């Protein structure tokens, strides 16, 4: 169900999800989901475990066929392996002794799917260095990738996804396992890339605090349903109550927002938890 939408008069959205539903057996994971992303939109996808975030990403990537509805990119039905869709999976684990440089890891975005040793070429490495520069990672391009911090490795994965010059970038929980400072740095980076490259970005996160002030819109998933709009539009008692199917109260205390359901607050490690209003707009 598409509960809320922001009016957008821009033509030809980059991504259009139209009344998508997905069932696994008797369970409806996604229930009539609709949303749109325009070029340059930075949208946060939020929801508790089991809300359907991963399933929605799979549908957008063409990995999970919907039982109803369709997904279009620039007016055409999306297909698996579309090079115009960049994807950053949940953080991979790299052994500290991995015999690979940061530059080599990023280069896998060009030819990592092919057998054999890639032949060096000036054009190939120029594209890799351009992607490294876009994420401010040139300074450690030759460093062993396993020795880099989690935030630095996350930058490399984003650079890898940018190599095909996508129109849409999907990031699956890129802030997980990062400290607060690194998480905010990644959000600032993603926000800047969205503006500079006019790139539509959908970022999945549990904790929305780092995204406040940076994202343009939020897609909130709960019980297979979705609400989309600004934070002020979506994080309202009546909207969240309709999503969850029970009374939810949104309370603002000392510059923060607490979402309370039933007699106790919802778990703070879930997406509907505490939202930091104090974070200023990211430039």
173/205 Cα distance (integer angstroms): 5
Q: Structure pTM?
A: 0.83
Look at residue 3 and tell me whether its pLDDT is greater than 80.
no
Handedness of CA 93, 63, 88, 122 (dihedral sign): positive
Q: Where are the domains of the chain?
A: 1-84+166-283, 97-165
pLDDT in tens, 155-208: 999 999 999 899 999 999 999 888 889 999 999 999 999 999 999 999 998 877
Look at residue 266 and tell me whether its pLDDT is greater than 60.
no
Query: For domain 1-84+166-283, is the CATH number 3.40.50.970?
Result: no
Look at residue 275 and tell me whether its pLDDT is greater than 50.
no
If one counts every other C-beta atom within 10 angstroms of the C-beta of residue 149, the result is 12
pLDDT in tens, 113-165: 544 455 568 888 899 999 999 999 999 999 999 999 999 999 999 999 999 89
């Amino acid at each position: 169900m598409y509960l809320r939408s922001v009016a957008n008069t821009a033509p030809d959205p980059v991504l259009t999800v139209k009344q998508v539903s997905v069932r696994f057996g008797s369970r409806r994971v996604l229930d009539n989901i609709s949303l749109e992303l325009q070029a340059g939109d930075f949208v946060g996808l939020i929801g508790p475990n089991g809300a359907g975030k991963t399933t929605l990403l799979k549908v957008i990537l063409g990995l999970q066929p919907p039982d109803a509805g369709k997904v279009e990119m620039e007016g055409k039905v999306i297909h698996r392996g579309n090079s115009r869709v960049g994807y950053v999976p949940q953080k991979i684990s790299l052994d500290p002794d991995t015999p690979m440089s940061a530059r080599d890891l990023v280069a896998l975005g060009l030819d990592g799917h092919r057998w054999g040793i890639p032949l060096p070429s000036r054009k190939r490495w120029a594209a890799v260095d351009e992607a490294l520069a876009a994420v401010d990672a040139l300074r450690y391009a030759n460093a062993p990738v396993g020795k880099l911090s989690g935030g630095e490795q996350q930058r490399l994965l984003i650079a890898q996804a940018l190599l095909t010059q996508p129109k849409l970038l999907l990031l699956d929980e890129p802030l997980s396992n990062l400290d607060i400072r690194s998480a905010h740095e990644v959000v600032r980076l993603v926000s800047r890339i969205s503006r500079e490259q006019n790139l539509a970005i959908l970022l999945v996160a549990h904790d929305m605090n780092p995204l406040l002030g940076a994202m343009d819109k939020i897609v909130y998933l709960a019980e297979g349903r979705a609400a989309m709009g600004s934070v002020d539009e979506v994080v309202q008692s009546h909207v969240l109550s309709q999503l969850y199917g029970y009374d939810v109260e949104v309370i603002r205390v000392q510059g923060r927002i607490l979402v309370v359901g039933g007699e106790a607050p919802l778990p703070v490690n879930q997406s509907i938890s505490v939202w930091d209003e104090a974070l200023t707009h990211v430039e």
